[in-house]
Structure 1
Amino acid sequence: MFDLISKSNGYVTINKYTLKDIEDVEGSVKYEFPEEYKNFIVEIGSGYFELNHNAELPCGSSFDNFYPLQTVLKLTKKYQENQIQEHYIPFGAYGGAGLYCFSRKDNGIYYLDNSFHLESSLSDNFDSFLIQLLQKNGD
């Protein structure tokens, strides 16, 4: 499935990671990322969709980037201290419109709007989240 996300559909890789990189961040945020996500950022990497390829999700929001691990770490700490409920781990976004997060409670994928008050459950796991991205965009 990962081969469907590529330059051909407008995805630009910024960083690729090792399992050691991932384990370091997991230790810092005290959360074990889903295996599917770990495989994705090792094989494909963090990155973004070019503007004319932004992915849309069934909830009506758009998705344009998977954060680098350093950003995941920084935002998790920042938002847990200030705004987001403690059980969310942000991993991606669409500009300033909202965050895409893992839930510590159920490993599901959630969307939080930019006020961090409206949450939408998007999928039960990372694989189904990727499938939604691809299906919504005709790939």
Structure 2
Amino acid sequence: MKEQTIKNIIDIYLRKWVDMGINQLPVQIETEMSDLNQDMSEEWRTWFPVNSKVTDEEINDIENRIGYEFPEDYKTFLKHKHFYELQISEVSFCEHPINIWRTSLTEMIFDGYPKEFLIDKGYIPFANWSDWGMLCFDTNKNQNDKNYPIVLWDHELADEVQYQYEDFYDMIEKIDQENR
């Protein structure tokens, strides 16, 4: 049931991006996600969410690189859809394009802000919060079941985090409720 709820919520918001026509960016779009009928001379390119091709092996590779396992609910999220932009309430998820999603996620984890404030302290960033912080898995808690709480890291207060959500599923449900 949790798995289907996560998928349904993601589908609702991705469908809104497409229905509102805001699924465009001034970047090269992966072929599998692009509008093949679009005039290629246009600067802004249309993208469409597509079913995820993320494999367990690819997830394991990232987990090995960061030194922590992801929560099962987040793995469900990663294996559901590919997208360029997904925002729900104040949460902007890391872009997740087909073919290059691992690069986007590892850049957010390792290159977004200094490692000593985040990953070195056991905080794995996976989304931006508004324009001033990041949501992170707090791997210092719930290490046995990997169902980490979600904390907010504010780049203005780099040595502090604020507890935000019980876990990834709790976050998805609550940000959906806030946005309705």
TM-score interval, normalised by the smaller of the two chains: 0.7 to 0.9
Alpha-carbon distance, 1:43 to partner: 1.2
Amino acid of the structure 1 residue aligned with 2:169 = D
Percent identity between the two aligned chains: 21
Partner of 1:90: 125
Amino acid of the structure 1 residue aligned with 2:9 = L
Q: Secondary structure at 2:121's aligned position in 1?
A: coil
Partner of 2:71: 34
Mark the runs of 5 or more structure 1 residues left unpaired by the alignment: 57-61
**In the alignment, is residue 108 of structure 1 matched against residue 149 of structure 2?**
yes
CA gap 1:86/1:120 in 2 versus in 1, 3 angstroms: same
Partner of 2:170: 128
Q: Secondary structure at 1:10's aligned position in 2?
A: helix
Check the 8 A contact 2:137/2:149 in 1, yes or no.
Answer: yes
String of CA shifts for 1:20-51, please: whole Å, max 9, x gaps: 111000000010000000011101346423xx
Partner of 1:59: none
Partner of 1:64: 92
Q: Secondary structure at 1:64's aligned position in 2?
A: strand
**TM-score between both structures, scaled by the size of structure 1:** 0.76
String of CA shifts for 1:64-123, please: whole Å, max 9, x gaps: 223443233234334464433521011111464211100111211111112224422111
CA gap 1:112/1:73 in 2 versus in 1, 3 angstroms: same
Q: Secondary structure at 2:163's aligned position in 1?
A: strand
Question: Whose relative contact order is higher, 1 or 2, with alpha carbons under 8 Å and at least 6 apart?
Answer: 1
Instruction: Find 2:15's aligned residue among 8, 32, 35.
Output: 8
Count, aligned residues = 129
Aligned-pair RMSD on alpha carbons?
2.6
CA gap 1:24/1:15 in 2 versus in 1, 3 angstroms: farther
CA gap 1:14/1:101 in 2 versus in 1, 3 angstroms: farther
How far apart in 2 are the matches of 1:80 and 1:26?
19
CA gap 1:27/1:46 in 2 versus in 1, 3 angstroms: farther
The structure carrying a bigger strand percent of its residues is 1
Amino acid of the structure 2 residue aligned with 1:135 = Q
Amino acid of the structure 1 residue aligned with 2:117 = Q
Alpha-carbon distance, 1:14 to partner: 7.8
